[in-house]
Amino acid sequence: MLEKERTMKYDFIKAKPYTVGEMTKDDKIILSFDRKHHIKLSRLAKVIFDKFDGNSTLEEIQVSLLHENVSISLDELSEFVEKILVPNALIEGTEYKPNKDSLLWFKVNLFETDRLSFIFERLTFFYNIRVVFLMLFLIMCTISYSTYEIISNKVVLHNVNSLKILLIVAIDMIIHEVGHIVAAYKYNVKVGKIGFGIFLFYPVMYVDMSNIWRCKNTKRMVVDIGGTYFQLFLLIVLAIIATITGDMNYHVANVSIFVAVIVNLLPIIKLDGYWLFCDALGLDNLSKNSFDRLKSEHQKHETSSASKSKQYMIFSDLYLVTIIVALIITIGYSINIIMNWKNLQNSINTIYLDFARLDVNRGLFHLNEIFLYILPLIFVIFMSFSSIIKRIIRRIT
């Protein structure tokens, strides 16, 4: 009786209309319901999904599937509704709520990318394979040249204008976002709005790339790496300026950008490297499922066939190892901060007194001396309090 009531509850369900995207690396079909709502289904799951037309009972759907040589019980159809349709808001009349678990707690949309489409379309030639190899060759020559100049001139970091370098890096981040947009335009993917936001407490530019999930893995990989590829173009320009002006700050900026790129490509947190890693290997929900396994809760969560494979297990473990290594480094640096806390406190007091006396030049000079020490400190704070801030944001929103 209970089973009958359960199946009747799901009679005459109507699935939401969709458009079909490309096939994924693991031979799944991407269905798009709106700009931010996409899901991957196997071919069989799509056949079942299409039967929910709003005019059929579960029993009628079962018979219809049997005519297509798909044998499935009423219990399995009910489970399909409960585990696929309901949680993913695929039933008409239900509202899809995007994940708000983000540290991008403040954002302002600036303009639609369509306004600059004529520029982005012309820049797609940078993704021509011959141009890519040429640019990568020039980039490697440039970073080698900048590194050589820094070492041969015995540049002391205390004498570097860190504020100038920070400004250059900020400009580079804008170029980074342009790289993602141009890569999307290469594949005729509609890009959303460009905006400004605050990621935790750091100002960032962002681009709405929701529609990229309609593409297959190989195309998403190009978009993932596109930002990094474009931002490295600035190294060539900076090396030329450094050669003309003799200002070593531009060589230091080059090395700083290159190091930032390497960090960005590490699959530790959800930056470009994480998404590139997942798309390259066809792994879904790597971060979530890795921590579920760590907490021995993986049996409570629905996982894809890829997540059950040996490949998924290996790289899931590798992801966890990178997290643990990052935590060990963070703890070591935290101990170093505690041991040198008085020196840091004295430096901060000196900077405060400089600005209080309106001696801006001297204040900037002292700030520059500890700037490279402060940046890792900010990173430690970020790593330590990100989960707390996530919970606060979740409650507010």
User: Which pLDDT score, from 0 to 100, does residue 105 have?
Assistant: 63
Structure-block tokens of residue 239: 């090396």
Tokens 């450094």 correspond to 242
Distance CA 390, CA 386 (A): 6
User: Which pLDDT score, from 0 to 100, does residue 308 have?
Assistant: 47
User: Which pLDDT score, from 0 to 100, does residue 236 have?
Assistant: 95
* CA dihedral sign of residues 388, 377, 327, 266: positive
Q: Which helix (H) or strand (E) holds 108?
A: strand 104-112
337-365 as b/e, with b when 16 or more CB fall inside 10 Å? eeeeeeeeeebeeebeebeeeeeeeebbe
Distance CA 26, CA 24 (A): 5
Long-range Cβ contact pairs of 68-75 (< 8 A, separation 24 or more): 70/44, 72/48, 74/3, 74/7, 75/3, 75/7
The CA angle 35-123-113, to the nearest 5 degrees, is: 30
* Cβ 193 vs Cβ 114: under 8 Å: no
Distance CA 171, CA 51 (A): 51
The one-letter code for the residue type at 210 is S
Kindly calculate the radius of gyration of the chain based on its CA atoms and give it in whole angstroms. 26
> One digit per residue, pLDDT tens: the chain, 397 residues?
444 454 557 778 888 888 887 777 667 788 888 767 778 888 888 888 888 888 888 888 888 888 888 888 888 888 888 888 888 888 887 877 766 545 566 778 887 888 888 999 999 999 999 999 999 999 999 999 999 999 998 877 666 777 788 788 888 888 998 999 999 999 988 888 888 876 655 667 788 887 887 788 888 899 999 999 999 999 999 999 999 999 998 998 999 899 888 888 877 666 788 888 888 877 666 555 555 555 544 444 444 444 445 666 666 677 677 777 767 877 777 787 778 788 878 888 888 888 888 877 777 777 766 765 666 666 556 555 555 555 555 555 5
User: Which pLDDT score, from 0 to 100, does residue 327 have?
Assistant: 73
* Cβ 294 vs Cβ 286: under 8 Å: no
User: Which pLDDT score, from 0 to 100, does residue 392 have?
Assistant: 57
Closest residue by Cα to residue 180 from 154, 199, 208: 208
Tokens 């806390």 correspond to 341
Question: How many CA atoms within 13 Å lie on the side-chain side of 375?
Answer: 10
Structure-block tokens of residue 240: 């030329």
User: Which pLDDT score, from 0 to 100, does residue 301 have?
Assistant: 41
Distance CA 210, CA 21 (A): 13
Q: What are phi and psi of 92, to 5 degrees?
A: -60, 135
* Cβ 49 vs Cβ 86: under 8 Å: no
Structure-block tokens of residue 283: 């792994």
User: Which pLDDT score, from 0 to 100, does residue 154 have?
Assistant: 84
Q: What are phi and psi of 357, to 5 degrees?
A: -90, 5
